[in-house]
Chains A and B, each alone.
Chain A
Amino acid sequence: MTNKPIWGRLARRRTIVQLVSALTLNSYFTQYVTKGIPCPALNCYACPAAAFACPIGSIQHFAGRKKFPLYALGVIGLIGALIGRASCGWFCPFGWFQELVYKLPIPKRRLPNRFNWTRYIVLAVLVVAVPLVTREPWFCKLCPAGTLEASIPLALFSADIRAMLGALYWVKLGILAVLLAWMSVTRRPFCRWLCPLGALWSPLNPVSSFRLRVDQAACIQCNRCQEVCPMDILVYENPASGACIRCLECVRVCPVDCILVQ
């Protein structure tokens, strides 16, 4: 059921997995077939190199057409039931980007997880309600991952697109700039407070096939798990937390090997 050396070694290679995932999700060549498949991460499909569909973009598209997104929700549900939010920790290019920005050598701030329900508001309002009413994918229009992966590259490389840029582009850039400042001082703020895909996966986290368990008898409550956790979770109190992205950093650093992978 558990093997610390294997999972600890795997956690050390997570950056490589994130790099390979970012390249695969944006590998361009297969897009005329695979772009109909929602990918297991928030990856903008307006990016010319995107090889898969964005699951949140797909949901908004169906909401705008007043149709139930059976297929997109099925893919998201299957991923969530199998690995929970592990996709956020291992495959999401924007999650990886936030981790890289956090490595900047500037003073850091820890923020409590008290208000992390805000991502459910983003999901309900910007991904479902507003597209239902306006028939426009408003989360996509403001998404910082989309700004980074699609809007900025398209504006840089196409004079036609540059000529069409309006106020919305500068609003998007402003949102990305605020998030850039936030992610340089706090770990993964977008994942913790804003990501609607994480909000969909969070309720599946406690019942997913791949999850963590803590041997409470062995735990010495040293808090090393929380110190390294990108989501700032006190793992021994809630190993099945809806916020956990299964990055396995806690498994790697636990001095008594009491965090088990199931």
Chain B
Amino acid sequence: MNGENRFFLINRALIVLAVALILAGLFFEQYRIVLRNAILL
């Protein structure tokens, strides 16, 4: 596998991981926790 392909794969894996983290956070209502904390400051 050449360098470009490796970069491409790592980049896409990171994007998928980040989206999975966001969805998991939303599932655990972390958006609401962040919003409540930010509004109360």
Residues of A with Cβ closer than 8 Å to B? 31-32, 35-38, 45-46, 50, 53, 57-58, 61-62, 67, 69-75, 77-78, 80-82, 204, 206-209
**Cβ contact within 8 Å between A81 and B18:** yes
The contact of B30 among A35, A46, A72, by CB within 8 Å, is A72
Main secondary structure of the interface of A (DSSP, over half): helix
A62 to B36, CA, bound (A): 12
* A residues near B30, Cβ cutoff 8 Å: 62, 67, 69-72
CB distance from A100 to the nearest CB of B (A): 26
* A residues near B21, Cβ cutoff 8 Å: 70-71, 73-74, 77
Residues of B with Cβ closer than 8 Å to A? 7, 10-11, 14-15, 17-26, 28, 30-35, 37-39, 41
**Cβ contact within 8 Å between B15 and A75:** no
* A residues near B25, Cβ cutoff 8 Å: 69-72, 74
* B residues near A72, Cβ cutoff 8 Å: 25, 30, 34
CB distance from B3 to the nearest CB of A (A): 11
